[in-house]
Amino acid sequence: KAPRTLHLYHCFKQWYQRRVRGNQNKTKLLNNTQTNTISTMARTKPNILITGTPGTGKSSLSDSVANNTGLQHIDVGLLVKTKGLHDGRDENFDAFFINEDKVCDELESVMDEGGVIVDHHGCDFFPERWFDLVVVLRTDNGTLFPRLKNRGYNAHKITENIDCEIMGV
Q: Are 115 and 70 in contact (CB under 8 A)?
A: yes
Short-list 155, 152, 126, 135, CA closest to 57: 135
pLDDT > 60? residue 35: no
pLDDT > 80? residue 146: yes
pLDDT for 7? 56
Q: Are 131 and 109 in contact (CB under 8 A)?
A: no
In 21-154, which ranges are continuous DSSP H helix? 58-69, 76-83, 100-113, 141-150
Cα separation, 152 vs 77, whole angstroms: 17
H-helix or E-strand spanning residue 157: helix 155-167
Short-list 4, 9, 135, CA closest to 71: 9
Residues 91-128 have pLDDT tens digits of 988 889 999 999 999 999 999 999 999 999 988 899 99
Cα separation, 58 vs 44, whole angstroms: 24
Cα separation, 15 vs 130, whole angstroms: 15
Residues 9-25 have pLDDT tens digits of 555 555 555 554 544 44
pLDDT for 168? 80
- Sequence-distant (6+) residues with CB within 8 A of 127 are 104
Pairing of strands 72-75, 86-90: unpaired
